[in-house]
Each structure stands twice: as C-alpha cells, then as structure tokens.
Structure 1
Amino acid sequence: MKTKKYFVCNECGFESDKWFAKCPSCNSISSAVEFTADIDFKKNKKTSKTTSEITYLDEEVSIPVRIKTSIKEFNDSINGGFVKGGIYLISGEPGIGKSTLISQISKDIDGFVLYATGEESKTQVIQRYKRLNIENKNIGLIFENDIDSIINTISKSTKKPSVVFIDSIQTMKSDEFDSIAGSILQVRECSKKITNFAKNNDITIVLIGHVNKEGAVAGPKILEHIVDCVIQFDLEKTSGLRMVRITKNRYGPTDEIILLEMTSKGLIPIENMNEFFLNDYSNESGNTLTIIKEGNKLIPIEIQALVSKPVYGTPRRITSGVPLDRVLMISAVLSKKLKMPIESKDIFVSTSGGFKINDSAIDLAIANSLVSSLLETPPLGPTIAIGEIGLDGKIRSVSSIEKRIEISKRLGMENILIPEKNSKKVKSCTPIKNINELVKLFKGV
C-alpha cells in the first residue's frame, strides 16, 4: 500500500498527478488543491471472477411507487410525484425560494419527512414553517452539515423517512476528506454517499444545490449525472415570477415547466397563464399577441413595441424579455427589404410582465408590432402573429402550429397570422409568405 498525491481544480474538478498554476480545463488561477489517496500495488492481485446477472426485456418489473407533494402542478411536472428511492436535485440562485419550495412540498407528504440543513438555524427554519402555516408533526429537522452524522441519524431513527431533504449539498462535508465544505471533492463524495445510502434503503432524497454565476449547478458535473432528476429553479428578474424547469428526468418527460408567484403566504402556482399574461392587453398600435413554446407548454404572450423619434443623437435599442439580437435582426430586415426608416428611430420592445422569451416564433409578432408602431396604425382587430423571419424576409414555418392556433381560437382571436407553409395544415388563418405581405395588411386599412 502506497500513498499517492494528486491535485484537483476547486472550480471545475479537473484532476492531475502534477501541480498546476492554471487549470488546463477552466483556466482558473491558483485553484489546484492537493489530495492524497492510498493505492494498492499488489503485483499478484487476482482479478474478480464473479459473474453479473442478465436481465431480459420480457421480464416483469414493478411500477415505481410515487410520493405526492402538496403542490399538484409540481407533481404533474415530475410525472406524478417523487419516485420512492429516487434522487432529485433542485438547483437555483441564493434567495430565489428553494427552501420555501421544499417546505411547501413537504407539507402533505405521506409518511415521515426529514429535513436536514447546514445553512439555517433552528429559529430560522421553524419560523419559515410557521409563516407558511405548516404544522405537520411528521416532519423532523436536523441541523447538521456532517453527511456521515446525517446518515447515521437516519439509520438509527425509529421512524424510517419516506423523503429526506438535504439543504444544501454544497454545505455538506465528510471528515474522511481533507477539504472544506462546498469544494469539488466534498460535493462529489457527499453526493455519492447519500445516493448509495438512499438506493440501499429505498428512501427518496431531494438535494438542494446552488448555481454559479453562469447559472449552472455549482460543483462537479458528476452531481447531475448521479441524480435521477434535475429540477432547475429560475427567477424571471423583470416579472418576479419563479419558473420550475425539469431538465433531466429518468422517470418521465423533460422540459416541463411551472410558473410560481412568490407571496407572503409562499409560492403560489399560476393556474391560468392566459389571464395572467393577457389581463392588460388592448388592441392599440404596437401591440400584438403571440403563442410561445416554453418547454412543453404553450403560453400566450403580448409583444409591445414603440418606435419613436430619437431623443438623443444615436438611436437606442432597448428590450425587456425579448432577445436584443432578434430585434436588431428584424429591424434590419424591415429596413433593407421594405425601405422603412426604422433604423433611424428609437426602438423599444417588451413582453407582458417582462417574461423572458427565446422562441423564434415571436419574430412575426415583433415585426407586426414594429410596423404598427411606426405607421401609428393598430392591427385589424386583436391579432395573434406566429412565425419566424429569415434574413431574406420570408416567414418560416414553426412547430406545434395546430396547438398554437387552437389556443388562439380558445382566446376568441379571429385574426391569426401564420407562415404560408404552415397554412396547408390549418384553415381559417391568414397565411403570410414574407414581410411585404405583412405590411399590405396595414396599408389596406
């Protein structure tokens, strides 16, 4: 048995047997942390001759047991609730409401629930539960950041927990490894320990994880590979809404989303998104509706545009919720193809509530709002525009057009603008081939 030294980057987890001043992987400076490992160099060590069991596809397997939470929308997003024995990771920025979320979803879980925190004091946690009016006697609290101590406490407990919440994995450590809590090594090894314990004892584990400045889960990438489901908790900074995204799920579909609003009573799911985003809509110049695809959900959103004379010398381009690059591209196409004097104007584009959109199907709605504001002419009645604009000015087809139109008609909209290529599948809509045809709709008023 010999001892070998190796070095791990404390930022990205890169490992090397030699010290490095600059990480070859992430280019971090002075991030190398030294570790030691015992290596067995027995020359005549016999290899294992055990065999593995072969499983065939026609064998019957048991259906996973689901553990439902108190938030129906959350259960639906993870395909019916937590799977018994599954490992879940909820990641998000500090202060976004992760602790509030797990407090609420633990309210009505059947069986004993254990909440282990290494971040907050006893007073802080109990006050949060009281603020949320949660008085479930089947919820136990552990205030500890030693993962081995938490595992031993669960093992010796007279009540076997059905779900264990770890808040957060970045605060946990094991004395077996000589590094601080939150380091790459501690996050990796603590995750492995609690995962192995959960799988062997059929206990559901929910890990809370922080994110770095880029928005990715802090710590080693192996953390996301270990868990069965990754739940990303985002903050829409302009609207104040919380969005729950399912980015990985071994027990169901991904790209599911939930919209939540933070109130004094905790997080409340937005059940009727149509009313929430279209509550203040009016058919005035510069206003156009569209249907965006966010994950697996289709959401109606209002696009507002204001084209005005520059107050200062250089025209400004300001957006809220809409990617600035798309607005610049669309305004350039309108200027080039239609000879519109839009490049010399101030351009302001916003979504209802400042909701952030990345769906390219909003291009036609942005163009319609810009033209409407520039001509100071409202659309022909409440208008929904769906389509992507190419650099040649043509309107390109988009996905899920039938479902988008179905939602549009459900809202009572009759003036629906769609790409000409999509019009073959649906009727009673206005097909638009290029932006020239879009402008003709305004000139015909």
Structure 2
Amino acid sequence: MRKSESHYVCNNCGYESDKWFAKCPMCNELESAVEYNTADVTINTGNLKVPDIVFLDQELPPAKKIPTNFQEIDSVLNGGLVEGAVYLLSGDPGIGKSTLMAQIANSIQATEGFAFYVSGEESTEQVVQRFNRLEIKNKNIGLIFENNVDVILKAMEKSNITPSVIFIDSVQTLKIDSIDSSPGSILQVRESTRKMVEYAKKKNIPIVLVGHVNKEGAIAGPKVLEHMVDCVLQMELEGGSGLRLLKVTKNRYGPTDEVVLFEITQKGLKPIDNINSFFLSDYSNESGNTLTIVKVGQKLLPIEIQALVSNPVYGSPRRVTSGIPLDRLLMIIAVLSKKLKLPLESKDIFVSSSGGLRINDSSMDVAIALSLISSIFDAPLSFSTIAFGEIGLDGRIRGISL
C-alpha cells in the first residue's frame, strides 16, 4: 500500500505544497490552502504509450471543426467545435447555461450524428421539462443522469454509440470514487476534468463542460481548471434580467474578442439580430441623454448614456451608476468640477447605460460628461449628436480607435 501523505493545494490557483501556508506564494490569496491526501489519488503505472515526434516541416491537417448550426455560436467559436477539444461554459446559477447547452445539442444534431447530455445535478424530470419547454424532441440526444466519471464513461462505451459531442452539466458535480473527498472539492474537480480531457483527446470527441462561478465572479474550483480546457466561454447577465452576453475569454483555436448577445425568452435564448434597434428603440433627446458608440468584442454597439443631476435629498451627495464603472464617473466629475467650475460635487448624480449594459470602456467618457452637463443645465443635445472619446485628468479629450 502506498504511504499516505498530506499535501496542500491553493483553492485559487492550484499551487501545491507539502506544508500548510497562510498566504499562497503564487497568487498571494489568503487562507486558500486546502488539505488533501496523496493516497486519495490513484496513479496508473500501466503500459505507457510513446508518442511520435512531430517536426515543424511536417504538413499537418488543420483541426476539424463540427458546426453547431447555431450561427452566433459558430461565429464566436470561429467555425464550430473542434474535434477532441474541451470547452468550459461558465456563468452564475440560473443565467441560462443549461438552456444554451440544450439548444446547441439540438441544433448540432440537425446534421451531425449523436450527442450525449450528462446531468449530474438535476433530476430526470427537471431536464426533460427543460427540453419540452424548448420544444426539443430530438431522438439523437441521449440523456445520462450520473455524476460518477467512471460510470459515465462506461455508460457511453456500453452504448456502442460514437457521439459527435458530449455535454456535461456540471463539472463541479463530478466525482471519482478513488478520491476520498466530496464533489466540488479541489481534487475532485481537477481529476474529473483531467479524465474528461483525456477521454476527449483519445476519442477525438469535443466535450462541453458547464462550470459555476463563485461570488467574486471567478470560475469555482482550482484555477488550473481554466488551463486544462481548450476554450473558456463566459455568460454574463447584462442590465435587465432578459439580456445575456456570451464572450470568449480563452480559445486555443481562434480569437478571444468575439461576443454574442442573447435575449432570454420562454423558448430559450434568442440571438439579438438588430442590435441598433434593441438598444435605441426608446431613445429620445431629453436633457441628460447622449448617444455614444462602444466596442464590445468585434461589435460596435450604439449605447444611450443617461444622467440625472439633482440637489441632494439626504444630506450627503450620492453617486449611483448602472452599467457604468463608479470610479470612471468619479474621475469625470472631478475633471468637470475643476476645469469647468461646475457645481457637481454638491449634487446627487445618477448615470446609467441603455439596458444597464455593463461597459468598462474609456471611449464613453465624453458622452458621460455631455450627459452631466446637459442635465445640470437642463439643455437637450441635438438628436443627431453622437459623442465618444477619452477624457484625461488634464481635461483634454483623447482620440480612440473603434
């Protein structure tokens, strides 16, 4: 029997040490050390397969991609799912990750073979109800309700079906019996993902994993999880509850500057075709309103900035934002107060972007400034005015590239 030894792993970045640490020496995270036992990990010492050496002058075939037939997803993934690649779809609970996976599974099976949909956290009734709500009755989608990795792999092998893609919901519920810890622990998540990555590469089948995020917005589990997969997709809630933003934060097979906007409906996530009308359908050139252009990924979005400047009601002036970084607003207020002698420091100030879309782009500085000036003087801008540009601490406006 192998001797049992205690090790410690950082819950944030995956750093390992034989000794306990109060602060991770790799990422400086406090109290992130989690203990695990080396006896929990089974080491396979079977026959090793020696790989062939690949030389740079060899002509290798390009990575084969499987189109999802979901136009917006194919655009974000630069053509579709790569055979043998592992994808991680992350987002807050209830944001629509499982719904999006069900829709992709349905659309990809319109032309491509078979798909397995593995659920480790929902009951049969819950998953079937979701598919019924989305009006998905595809006989080429096989449902597996299990969270044991070895059992899942055996079930797929026993079926004698070679799927074109595998969906797993979620990676935090997976477990391996040989590891003495609960699902969701650092070791379980890491080793379960490792097994899935090995299976994807061995069988040349793309696997899509759903991952939850913690209260800080980071993917739950070890940081190494993001390094193990080939592509990380992040779904975010934008503004009102009906808007979703899907962006690529890592992609070994394409660019990471693509985004797609969805509107959530009773029948699933619907891509927003006409972005201009979606954000500007109710625009009016009232005082405090200014149009601007911001770049989100490769898309140029017309956004309405709204500002309201009023006398304080509760004594101390308040600064409230929706979709706009508060620090950026405070900087613009300070510049306008000093350079233009505007009495903004003693006022309540409320600023928001259309739809509450979260924007962290200095190109909207001028639009925010004009909205504040328009509101304080109650002077509407021209209906045809569009403002963009960065404001420096010296009060100068700097050009931007769109």
Partner of 2:3: 3
Partner of 2:202: 200
Q: In 2 relative to 1, CA 222–29 (structure 1 residues): closer, same or farther, beyond 3 Å?
A: closer
Distance across 2 between alignment mates of 1:326 and 1:202:
47
Partner of 2:76: 77
1:119 aligns with 2:118: no
3-state SS, counterpart of residue 234 of structure 1? strand
Distance across 2 between alignment mates of 1:38 and 1:248:
29
Q: In 2 relative to 1, CA 38–217 (structure 1 residues): closer, same or farther, beyond 3 Å?
A: closer
Q: In 2 relative to 1, CA 30–52 (structure 1 residues): closer, same or farther, beyond 3 Å?
A: closer
Distance across 1 between alignment mates of 2:126 and 2:239:
25
Alpha-carbon shift at residue 2 of structure 1 (Å): 4.9
Partner of 2:98: 99
Letter in 1 for 2:223: K
3-state SS, counterpart of residue 39 of structure 2? strand
TM-score, length of structure 1 as denominator length:
0.83
Alpha-carbon shift at residue 37 of structure 1 (Å): 6.7
Distance across 2 between alignment mates of 1:208 and 1:225:
15
User: How many correspondences in the alignment?
Assistant: 391
Q: CA RMSD in A?
A: 2.2
3-state SS, counterpart of residue 300 of structure 1? strand
Q: In 2 relative to 1, CA 52–83 (structure 1 residues): closer, same or farther, beyond 3 Å?
A: closer
1:26 aligns with 2:25: no
Alpha-carbon shift at residue 78 of structure 1 (Å): 0.5
3-state SS, counterpart of residue 363 of structure 1? helix
Q: Which has the higher contact order (CA 8 A, sep 6+)?
A: 2
Letter in 2 for 1:306: L
Alpha-carbon shift at residue 310 of structure 1 (Å): 2.2
Aligned pairs (5 A) from 1:75-224: 75-109=74-108, 110-224=112-226
Letter in 2 for 1:34: N
Distance across 2 between alignment mates of 1:241 and 1:8:
40
Alpha-carbon shift at residue 4 of structure 1 (Å): 4.4
3-state SS, counterpart of residue 287 of structure 2? coil
Distance across 2 between alignment mates of 1:89 and 1:39:
25
Partner of 2:237: 235
Q: In 2 relative to 1, CA 39–141 (structure 1 residues): closer, same or farther, beyond 3 Å?
A: closer
Is there any run of 5+ residues in structure 2 with no aligned partner, and where? Answer: none
Instruction: Say if 2:8 and 2:33, in contact at 8 Å, map to a contact too.
Output: no
Instruction: Say if 1:6 and 1:15, in contact at 8 Å, map to a contact too.
Output: no
Instruction: Say if 1:88 and 1:205, in contact at 8 Å, map to a contact too.
Output: yes
Alpha-carbon shift at residue 172 of structure 1 (Å): 0.4
**What stretches of structure 1 move > 6 A for 4+ residues in a row?**
21-24, 37-40
Partner of 1:36: 39
Alpha-carbon shift at residue 355 of structure 1 (Å): 1.0
Partner of 2:17: 16
Q: In 2 relative to 1, CA 147–34 (structure 1 residues): closer, same or farther, beyond 3 Å?
A: same
TM-score, length of structure 2 as denominator length:
0.92
Letter in 2 for 1:156: K
Q: In 2 relative to 1, CA 70–31 (structure 1 residues): closer, same or farther, beyond 3 Å?
A: same
Q: In 2 relative to 1, CA 283–7 (structure 1 residues): closer, same or farther, beyond 3 Å?
A: same
Q: In 2 relative to 1, CA 152–290 (structure 1 residues): closer, same or farther, beyond 3 Å?
A: same
Q: Deviation per CA, 1:366-402: give whole Å up to 9, x if none.
A: 01111111111111332110100001100012122xx
Q: Deviation per CA, 1:241-266: give whole Å up to 9, x if none.
A: 11101111111111211111111111
Distance across 1 between alignment mates of 2:41 and 2:376:
72
Q: Deviation per CA, 1:11-69: give whole Å up to 9, x if none.
A: 334432235677665322784333427899xxxxxxx9x7961412x432223222222
Distance across 1 between alignment mates of 2:35 and 2:117:
34
Deviates more, 1:381-390 or 1:20-29: 20-29
Instruction: Say if 2:308 and 2:350, in contact at 8 Å, map to a contact too.
Output: yes
Alpha-carbon shift at residue 303 of structure 1 (Å): 0.4
Partner of 1:309: 311
Distance across 2 between alignment mates of 1:211 and 1:310:
38
Alpha-carbon shift at residue 315 of structure 1 (Å): 1.8
Alpha-carbon shift at residue 70 of structure 1 (Å): 4.2
Instruction: Say if 1:91 and 1:232, in contact at 8 Å, map to a contact too.
Output: yes
Q: Deviation per CA, 1:88-114: give whole Å up to 9, x if none.
A: 110111111111010011112211100
Bigger Rg, which one: 1
Instruction: Say if 2:86 and 2:230, in contact at 8 Å, map to a contact too.
Output: yes
Aligned pairs (5 A) from 1:46-445: 53-56=53-56, 58-109=57-108, 110-238=112-240, 240-400=242-402
Letter in 1 for 2:187: L
Deviates more, 1:207-216 or 1:13-22: 13-22
Q: In 2 relative to 1, CA 188–340 (structure 1 residues): closer, same or farther, beyond 3 Å?
A: same
Distance across 1 between alignment mates of 2:51 and 2:34:
42
Q: Deviation per CA, 1:69-88: give whole Å up to 9, x if none.
A: 24211111101111122111
